[in-house]
Amino acid sequence: MRMFLIVLICKIIYYASRFVGKQGVTLAGLIALKMDHQILQKLSIQVKKKIIVVCGTNGKTTTNNLIALALQGANNKVIYNQTGSNMLNGIVACFILNTNFLGKLDADYACLEIDEASLRRIMPQCKANILVLTNLFRDQLDRYGEIDITMDLLNEGLKYAPECKLIVNADDVLSMYFARESGHPYLTYGIEKPVQDSKNDEMKEGQFCHYCNHKLVYNFYHYSQLGDYYCPNCHDKRQHIDVNGENIIFKDHCEVTVNNIRLITNYKGFYNIYNILASCATLINENISLEAFKKVLVNFRPENGRLEEFNINGTKVTLNLAKNPAGFNQNIQLCINDTKPKDVLIVINDNAQDGIDVSWLWDVDFEEFSKDNVDKFYTSGTRYKDMQLRLKYVDITSEAIGNYQEAISKAILNSRNKNLYILVNYTALYPSHVYLNKLQNEKVK
């Protein structure tokens, strides 16, 4: 009876919130936890096969969605937090919204992207069988501190799941140090050989050997600190790659061969190759054929502002999340890869979830935009002036408009090239997505 009430109330809250244009997931989860502290445990133990958790600085949502869809494609029942509500309340809501009114969950797998700092609050009640770690880049400083702190947070969470297997990016020296020291079994994925045009000396983390503190040498970089590294002093080097990506194409769409299977998607950007490889490694670990994944990828349509495309009054609008330097640099490369003339709007907020310190903007290589064919720049969000100043330092003139709706409407109305990129950080993503959907449906007045 109690479970019936909790499920009923949460579903009502969720759908009522959606009706008034709010996400509603976190509120539903919060109320459920208030009504029953053990709710997550009661529901998560009902998962029949495995709980798969995705952590890491960038690529969590896409990787988690890809894994979930691929498992579904292989005839499994899967629940997943597809909107990216990845803290405790969001995870609780994900379970409850998929439960029937008797409190019964019918799921073979739960695929959960989880915020690194929330893992230790979730794992005691919801023990992961597999942890997929996408990468470890520098993120919002005031939330996570240095990368060492992120690793400590992950370790704290993993303590509750001693059997958990890790799936890690062999090209990321930081993820590999974490996996090797964790004592957990792990499977690696990566790209063994250099990819044409992938070299880029952007921002690098962990340039020093974890074992002897000597500076690492790279045979090549894929991007950021991802690449083929070794230590000339103690001879530590990139570990064996279990799931390797070959013959890669990433500019206007992605193609990669894994275990002799050619995987193709309209999704673009080098970082998505890694999201695909992380998904492949997870599927291979579950003995699931990549043929099923191949079909999923062909039909994969990005949503929730991950390279989501809109058509508004004939203008192609591409919305993408850019919440830290590594992610932003990849976004700039994406813009450059689109050789058509375009306008760019950058929306930066400084709410708690974004990190109130926006100094990371100074670690982004905005000067790379000089290689791009951008007609007009706009800045918006609560820190629109900081963003405008940042661009000014690399000789980019922009129009600053504080209100994001006004900025979006103006950028679309004045777009001569009918090609607009909107790059937003975390809390600007959902409202921008909602507003663009609204415009797409009713057109800009």
Q: Which residues bind Zn ion (CB under 5 A)?
A: 209, 211-212, 214, 231, 233-234, 236
Least gap, CB of 230 to Zn ion (angstroms) = 9
Closest CB to Zn ion among residues 233, 289? 233
Closest CB to Zn ion among residues 235, 371? 235
Chain-centroid distance of CA 382 in Å reads 23
Least gap, CB of 68 to Zn ion (angstroms) = 38
Least gap, CB of 408 to Zn ion (angstroms) = 49
For residue 283, CA distances in Å to 59, 166, 247 come to 17, 13, 20
Q: How far apart are CA 169 and CA 227, in angstroms?
A: 10
Closest CB to Zn ion among residues 158, 173? 173
Which tokens go with 321?
A: 């999340």
Least gap, CB of 148 to Zn ion (angstroms) = 18
- Nearest of 143, 67, 78 to residue 109 by alpha carbon: 78
- Nearest of 404, 424, 426, 322 to residue 364 by alpha carbon: 322
Closest CB to Zn ion among residues 41, 207? 207
3-state secondary structure of 199: coil
Closest CB to Zn ion among residues 127, 204? 204
Closest CB to Zn ion among residues 161, 209? 209
| Burial 106-136, CB ≥16 within 10 A → b, else e | ebbbbbbbbbbbbbbbbbebbbbbbbbbbbb
Least gap, CB of 231 to Zn ion (angstroms) = 3
Least gap, CB of 277 to Zn ion (angstroms) = 26
User: Which is it for strands 306-312 and 315-321: parallel, antiparallel or unpaired?
Assistant: antiparallel
Contact 158, 126 (CB under 8 A): no
